[in-house]
Structure 1
Amino acid sequence: MGRVDRINRVMSAFFLSISLTVALLLPARLMAAPMSDEELKVLQESLSIVEIDREIARIEKEQQLTEQNIQQLELQLKDKNNQIRGNQEQAGKRLAAYYMGERETLLSALLSANSLKDFFSMLDYYQLIAERDRYILNSYKTEYADLAKTKRKLDKLSSDLDQMKAGLLQQRKRVALLQQSVDGSLSASVDPEKLKEMIRELTVYWENVGLYEVRRYFRALSAAMSGFPDFLKDHEDSLSSDKEGYILTVKEEDLNNFLHGRNELLKNMSFVFEDERIVAQGRREGLELKVEGHYTVENEPQNSITFHVDRLLFNGLELPDTTRLELEKDFDLGFYPKKIVPFVEATEAEIRKGTLIIKLKIAL
């Protein structure tokens, strides 16, 4: 490595460390003084714009891939149509031969053979023809089934593409409305430059640290919940029999202890069961995260207790639904009753103050 390359690497590392240090200090600067409701509103809308823009970029990328897949399937569809045309005529002749009696004539000739030698010779010939007929007809049938399958895939992708385009249009409208609101707030502000700087700082912090940290917490929660079957090893009394099956009662304190023991990062979070919702909240190094959600019982693709993110707040600013749905899709925070007790299925999940109650039925 040359001297110039070493200097460039050192300088790059230096400026990267400076950028990260500045990014880490941003939340402290943003929260140093109390902010007005208008300032909080503008910052939240600005953060939503950043996140919805990210969703737009994701949809656009997915749309491009889908369009490429559609083009490939259309080519496959064309090829399969050509293949079918090649065998269609032969298959038609074979079918016509059966219906018009040509095969029956051949069979009659076979039965009227004058000797066993002639009979077996004609039988071999008849079997060769029959096998060839079956091969052509089966080939035609297989190719036609493949054609129908490809057509269904193409129709599904085309429908998905239409939904993507509609979703893209909707998100662009949302961004335009939010941007209009932010621009209006900046115009009406007594200190628009200060507000612009706050927006810039928040954006830098979110893109460099915030989003990474939020996903890091969700990853830790997902990993911890994947080990939920171990919960019963330490809390055997949480599962009790019932006339309709079993009841699993998860206490708030027990869940906190379990999650804290699974991951060091989660020790900064507390989980609270309120009526019909669960609230997880934590703070670390200038970052504050609050998650509100609820559980539902799902049976597809398998029986599960699925967690839905209803609200997600980052440093007091609520993130848009696009971020919530992305995290919900990327990180599984639910659990699966069959991994706890192999012969049961969940039928109901109820959150009461201090407890999560899950009703299970026997499903052999």
Structure 2
Amino acid sequence: MKKRIISFCLLLSWVTLHIGGMLTAAEPFTAEEQQILEQSLSIQEIDREIERIESRQQETEADIRDLQGQLSDKNEQIRVSREQAGLRLRAYYMGERENLLYALVSVNSLKDFFTVLDYYQLIMDRDRTVLNHYKTEYAKLTRTKQKLDDTSNELARMKEELQLQRSRVAALQQSVDKSLGLSADPEKLKALIQELTVYWENVGLYELRKYFQALSSSMSQFPDFLQQNENSLIAEKGGYRLDIREEELNAFLYSQSELLKDMSFHFEKDKIVARGSREGLKLEVEGHYTVEQEPENSIVFHVDRLLFNGLALPDTTRAELERDFDLGFYPKKIVPFVEATDAAISEGTLTVKLKLAL
């Protein structure tokens, strides 16, 4: 076992140094190589997305079966509750409750009056319990039906998405095969694809997620940014303005993570760009911020472009990283009584408008 672990570590080191070095060699890729490597990388990533959707689809189908079972149970419970409630209501309309009320006012002693009153109260409490139970079960049935409908709609959406992604993979694979068939050096291209596949699966994806995890952890500590840069928050009429300068953001992120010291963050017009390199891996992330209100007021980061060793990663990878790692920040954690209304990026500065929300 120990020998296998050592062998795996040696293999991983070789992959990192040898293949990573080949993919980031000084000689740039030709246009043909660039295109075919990006397509092959997209195939890998969309295949991963297909696996994720298929797994989620299986879970959703299991949820639907469970909800259908719950719905069947709820229907039986509602039938029993409806019958019991019907008996109580018929008793009111057929005069049984009126007879009991007549007996209450016809007693001859105070002791009998309170005895009948206690009995009457017990019946009324029981009636109220039965009717409330019916209402509760009916509300549960309605919620279960709605949840089943929502889950079924989600399953249908996933099936459409799965079909779309499979079509994308087929088209990309067809394009790759065609390029290999027309290439003057197909063996070289096949070798590059194989090298890229091994490097991405063993090193690239892991390193990419490690950087995003470091960014996410750092942004979760964003309230500390104001402690380091008190002059960034400026009072204005009706609220505040938060000015985040790129040199201050870089200093803050570097203070939060050693890994992020390999990267630099730049605010350009309408976008933020992060670039970095380490041990044969080059990463470039481009994105923008939007103000979101749900599930809470926040400044959300969207990944618009993602380059790994100069190769563009597909939208499925960008969406996955946005889904798995929160790179935004939350104004109420900075100042409890404000909310963001606008986020604008200009050269060197991110400006966030904050209004009072008392």
TM-score (norm 1): 0.95
Partner of 1:218: 212
Q: What stretches of structure 2 of length at least 5 have no aligned partner?
A: none
Partner of 2:126: 132
Structural RMSD (CA): 1.2
1:121 is displaced (CA, Å) by: 2.5
Higher mean alpha-carbon deviation, 95-104 vs 213-222, is at: 95-104
Partner of 1:13: 5
In the alignment, is residue 341 of structure 1 matched against residue 335 of structure 2?
yes
Partner of 1:242: 236
2-structure distance, mates of 1:167, 1:45: 19
Higher mean alpha-carbon deviation, 340-349 vs 92-101, is at: 92-101
2-structure distance, mates of 1:88, 1:235: 64
Partner of 2:264: 270
Aligned pairs for 1:261-340 (under 5 A) are 261-340=255-334
Partner of 1:30: 23
2-structure distance, mates of 1:239, 1:87: 60
Query: Is the partner of 1:300 in helix, strand or coil?
Result: coil
1:321 is displaced (CA, Å) by: 0.6
1-structure distance, mates of 2:129, 2:235: 59
Look up the equivalent residue of 2:24 and give its one-letter code: M
Query: Is the partner of 2:43 in helix, strand or coil?
Result: helix
**Aligned 8 A contact 2:24 2:280 in 1:** no
Query: Is the partner of 2:327 in helix, strand or coil?
Result: coil
1:80 is displaced (CA, Å) by: 1.2
Q: Percent identity?
A: 64
Query: Is the partner of 1:282 in helix, strand or coil?
Result: strand
2-structure distance, mates of 1:175, 1:13: 34
Aligned pairs for 1:170-249 (under 5 A) are 170-249=164-243
Q: What stretches of structure 1 of length at least 5 have no aligned partner?
A: 1-8
CA offsets 1:141-187 (integer angstroms, 9 cap, x no match): 11111111111111111111111111111111111111111011011
Partner of 1:254: 248
Look up the equivalent residue of 1:310 and give its one-letter code: D
In the alignment, is residue 160 of structure 1 matched against residue 154 of structure 2?
yes
Look up the equivalent residue of 1:275 and give its one-letter code: K
Look up the equivalent residue of 1:95 and give its one-letter code: L
CA offsets 1:286-343 (integer angstroms, 9 cap, x no match): 0000000001111111111111100011000010111101111111111111111111
2-structure distance, mates of 1:115, 1:339: 68
1:105 is displaced (CA, Å) by: 2.1
Higher mean alpha-carbon deviation, 130-139 vs 161-170, is at: 130-139
Query: Is the partner of 2:275 in helix, strand or coil?
Result: strand
Higher mean alpha-carbon deviation, 270-279 vs 33-42, is at: 33-42
- Which portions of structure 1, spanning 4 or more consecutive aligned residues, are displaced by more than 6 angstroms? none
In the alignment, is residue 151 of structure 1 matched against residue 145 of structure 2?
yes
Partner of 1:6: none
1:14 is displaced (CA, Å) by: 3.4
2-structure distance, mates of 1:185, 1:50: 17
Q: 1:118 aligns with which of 112, 123, 133?
A: 112
